[in-house]
Amino acid sequence: MTATAPLAWRGVVEGFYGEPWSHADRLAWFDRAGGLGLDHYVYAPKDDPWHREEWREPYPADRLASLASLATAAEQRGVRFVYAISPGLSMRYDDPEEHRTLAAKCRQLLEAGIHSFALLFDDVPMDEPEALGRAHGETAARFERGFLRPAGIDEPVLLCPTDYAGVATTPYRTGLAEALPADARLFWTGADIVVGEVTAEDIRLAVESYGRELVLWDNFPVNDFDRSRVFLGPLTGRATAPGLIGIAANPMVEAAASRFALHTVAEWAADPEAYEPAAAAGRAYAAVAGPGEGLRTLVDACSAWPPGAPRWPLLDELVSHERWDAVEALLGRLADTHAEPGTAPDLAAQLAPWIAAARAAGAAGVLACRVLAADTVDTGVPDADALLAARRALEAEYADVARGAVLSLLDAAVERLGVTPQRGHGDGALIAVLTGANPAPGDRELVEFLGASGFRAHLGDDPAADLLIVTRAAPEELAASAAGRPVPLLAWGHLVPLGMASASTVPLSLDRIHIADAGHPAADGLDGEVVVYRGRSKLTVGDPPDAAAVVARDPESGRAVIGITPAGATLADGSTAPATRATFFLAADGFAPWLVTPDARTLLLATIRDLLSGP
C-alpha cells in the first residue's frame, strides 16, 4: 500500500466535561506524545473556571505557574502547548473593552511562556445564528490583529465554532465566514458530535460550508457522556480529503487508559491510507499494557466504537450460535482479568473499577453458560440462588464491562431453571412504570424495588394505577396519554411535553444534588449536598412551573432536579395539573442498581409517598 503524507496538525485536545487530567497525567502524556507524532496538546478542560466561566479573570499565581511548567515540559518533549480560552458564555462582542480583556488575559499567559492559543465558542447559546457567527469571526480577526500578531505569533487563528458538527451550510457558518481571517483554521467534530465514521464526502461538504481548513476535533475516545464505560479500542472509520489538515483527539477522563486509543490515532494520522485498525490495536496494547495478557480480554470487550455499536461482537456471535463452550472460555478469560506486575501504576489504578467489573461479569457469565450448555438442569449445574448472587455481584459494579450481554445470559439461565423472579408483588398502591418495548435494566430494578417497598408495581400502563412513572424510554404517545390522567405522576422523561417543565436538559458527569428544601416530605430529612450516583452520570434537570416546590437542585446550574407541582396548579404549558406532578433527576439509565445510591433510593421513595399522600 502506498504511504500517504501525515496530517500537518496532529494532537490531543483535553476538552471533555468532568474531572480534568491531573498535572501528572499531562506530564505522562507529554512523555509519550512527541514520540508518537501527536505534537500538539490543546488545554481546554471545561472544569477550569479561568478557561471558561471566569475567562476575564487572570490566573492566580499558583495556577499560572502550573500552566507555565506544563507548557515548558511540553515544549521540551516536542509538543506544542496550545492554551484555549472559551469566552462565549458571557462575552459582549460589541464592547471593545471585552476584546481588550481577552487580549490581556492571553498576554498574562504569553508572559508565562505560552505561545500558542485557540478560541473556543463551543456549547454556548446560539440565538440569531448568523449574527453570532459574524461576531465570532470578528472576535477572531480582532484577536489576531490585537494580540497574536503584536505578540509575534504568526500562526493562523485556531477557533472552535458554536456550530461545530454537521456538514450543511448554515446561517451561523455564513456569518462566520464573512468575518473570519482567510487563513483561520476551524475545529469540526464530523457529521455529528460523536461519530462512527468521517467520510471524504463529509469533509468536502464541511470544508465547503465553512470556507476554511479544518482540524477534526475527534470526540474519540471521550467518555464524559457515559462514565461507566471506557473505550480502549482502535480508531476506525476515518477518511481524509482536501481541506482537512489535522486531528485533535478528545480523550477520556482516565488519561492512562486513553493511551490505548490515542496510540492508534497517532498511527492513523501518520499514514491514513496504510492504517489498519486491528494491527494498530495490537501495537497499542503492547506499548501501553506491556507483554502480559492480563488486560487483553478487557480491552477486547471495551473496544466498540461508536458508543452505540454492539459492545462485544465476538461474544454476540458465539451466543447467537449457542456455542456455549466457546462462550464459557471467553468469559472465563474475562473473569481472569488482572493487571500484570509490570503494568504502569496509573493505568492499573485507573482501570481498577473495570477490572473488577470484568471479573464479576466473567464469573457470572461462566455460571450462566454452565446452565445453558447442560443437557439437563436437574443436577450438576449452578442453582438459581448462585445465579442471582452472581447477578447481584455484577450489578454492584458501577463500571460497565459486557454488563448487558451477561445479564441477558443470566436471565436465560434462570428461565431455563424454571424460576420466575418475583417483581413488584407488594400489596400497597398500584404503580405503573411507563417504559419502552425493551425496558432498561433500571426500569426492571425499579419495579422490583417498589415491590420490596410494599407497592404493587409492574411495567406498562394500567388504567387502575394509583400512580404513573414516566421514564425516558417511554414512547411519546404513551407519555402523552399520561398527561391528562387524574392520578399522581412522577417523571424523568418527556418533562416538557407533559407540561412539567418549560425546558429540560441532561447535564453530563454529575453524581450529586443539593437539597433546597430539607423540610419537604420528599427530602425525607436529607439536607445539603447528597450523592445520588455511585459514579458520575447524567441528571435530568428542568425549569418547573412557578407553583412547583423545588425540593432539590443541580448544584452547578441551580436548576430543579426534584420539583413537585400540586394538583390544580398551572403547569408549564398553561394547562391545569389534574393531580400532583413531580419531576425527578434520573436519566436514561433510570433506577439502575449499579448507579443509584441508598440516598437516591430514599429520595425516590419519599417522593412517591408524598405524591400518594393526597393533594
| pLDDT of res. 79 | 98
| CA-wise closest residue to 467 among 590, 341, 575, 610 | 610
| 514 found inside a domain | yes
| pLDDT of res. 378 | 80
Cα angle at 475 between 492 and 451, to 5 degrees?
55
pLDDT exceeds cutoff 70 at 493 = yes
- With a CB cutoff of 8 Å and minimum separation 6, the contacts of 247 are 7, 9, 10, 11, 215, 216, 218, 238, 265, 268, 269
Matching residue, cell 484555549: 84
Query: From its phi and psi, is residue 211 left (phi > 0), alpha (psi between -120 and 50) or beta?
Result: left
580 with 522, same domain: the answer is yes
| 188 found inside a domain | yes
Cell of 329: 472460555
Separation in Å, CA 81 to CA 254, 422, 518, 590: 20, 58, 47, 40
| pLDDT of res. 441 | 76
> What ranges in 55-166 are assigned the alpha helix state H?
61-76, 96-111, 129-143
Cell of 3: 504511504
Give the predicted TM-score (pTM) of the model: 0.90
How confident is the prediction for the chain on average, in pLDDT? 95
Compute the distance between CA of residue 476 and CA of residue 498 in angstroms, rounded to an integer: 10
Q: For residue 212, what are the domain limits?
A: 9-289
pLDDT exceeds cutoff 80 at 433 = yes
500 with 570, same domain: the answer is yes
383 with 349, same domain: the answer is yes
**pLDDT-based confidence at residue 453 (cuts at 50, 70, 90):** very high
**pLDDT-based confidence at residue 507 (cuts at 50, 70, 90):** confident
Which tens digit of pLDDT belongs to each residue from 298-322? Answer: 999 999 999 999 999 999 999 999 9
- With a CB cutoff of 8 Å and minimum separation 6, the contacts of 438 are 473
| 305 found inside a domain | no
> What ranges in 232-344 are assigned the alpha helix state H?
259-270, 277-289, 296-301, 313-320, 324-335
Separation in Å, CA 121 to CA 52, 165, 264, 403, 452: 10, 13, 28, 37, 49
| 308 found inside a domain | no
**Which of 255, 289, 323 is a domain's end point?**
289
- With a CB cutoff of 8 Å and minimum separation 6, the contacts of 578 are 484, 485, 486, 567
Compute the distance between CA of residue 316 and CA of residue 271 in angstroms, rounded to an integer: 32
Matching residue, cell 497574536: 148
- Which H/E stretch holds residue 577? none
| CA-wise closest residue to 567 among 511, 495, 469, 485 | 485
Judged by DSSP in three states, 232 sits in coil
Which tens digit of pLDDT belongs to each residue from 253-306? Answer: 999 999 999 999 999 999 999 999 999 999 999 999 999 999 999 999 999 999
The answer to whether 312 and 402 have CB atoms below 8 angstroms apart is: yes
CATH number of the domain to which 190 belongs: 3.20.20.80
pLDDT exceeds cutoff 50 at 1 = no
Instruction: Quickly list DSSP for 236-266.
Output: -SB---TTEEEEEE---SSTTTTHHHHHHHH
| pLDDT of res. 508 | 81
**Which of 355, 389, 416 is a domain's end point?**
416
| 299 found inside a domain | no
Compute the distance between CA of residue 51 and CA of residue 69 in angstroms, rounded to an integer: 17
Separation in Å, CA 530 to CA 518, 533, 537, 557: 11, 9, 14, 16
Which tens digit of pLDDT belongs to each residue from 514-562? Answer: 999 999 999 999 999 999 999 999 999 999 999 999 999 999 999 999 9
223 with 364, same domain: the answer is no
| 602 found inside a domain | yes
The answer to whether 166 and 192 have CB atoms below 8 angstroms apart is: yes
405 with 276, same domain: the answer is no
Strand pairing of 512-515 and 528-531? antiparallel
Judged by DSSP in three states, 205 sits in helix
45 with 165, same domain: the answer is yes
Residue 221: cis peptide before it, omega within 30 degrees of 0: yes
CATH number of the domain to which 506 belongs: 3.40.50.880
φ, ψ at 159 (rounded to 5°): -140, 140
Compute the distance between CA of residue 188 and CA of residue 202 in angstroms, rounded to an integer: 11
Matching residue, cell 407553583: 547
pLDDT exceeds cutoff 70 at 497 = yes
439 with 399, same domain: the answer is no
- With a CB cutoff of 8 Å and minimum separation 6, the contacts of 261 are 220, 221, 231, 232, 233, 234, 235, 249, 251, 252, 284
Long-range Cβ contact pairs of 153-158 (< 8 A, separation 24 or more) = 153/115, 153/116, 153/117, 155/116, 156/181, 156/183, 156/184, 156/185, 157/119, 157/181, 157/183, 157/184, 157/185, 158/82, 158/117, 158/118, 158/119, 158/184, 158/185, 158/186, 158/187, 158/215
503 with 607, same domain: the answer is yes
As for how many domains the chain has, the answer is 3
Q: Which of 19-33, 139-153, 434-448 has the lowest mean pLDDT?
A: 434-448
pLDDT exceeds cutoff 60 at 423 = no
What is the mean pLDDT of the segment spanning 592-596? Answer: 94
262 with 337, same domain: the answer is no
What is the mean pLDDT of the segment spanning 360-374? Answer: 97
| 276 found inside a domain | yes
278 with 319, same domain: the answer is no
| pLDDT of res. 425 | 67
| 511 found inside a domain | yes
Which tens digit of pLDDT belongs to each residue from 330-362? Answer: 999 999 999 999 999 999 999 999 999 999 999
349 with 381, same domain: the answer is yes
- With a CB cutoff of 8 Å and minimum separation 6, the contacts of 202 are 167, 190, 191, 239
265 with 370, same domain: the answer is no
**pLDDT-based confidence at residue 424 (cuts at 50, 70, 90):** low
Cell of 153: 505569533
What is the mean pLDDT of the segment spanning 207-225? Answer: 97
pLDDT exceeds cutoff 80 at 4 = no
Estimate the crossing angle of helix 277-289 against helix 259-270, to 10 degrees: 130
pLDDT exceeds cutoff 70 at 421 = no
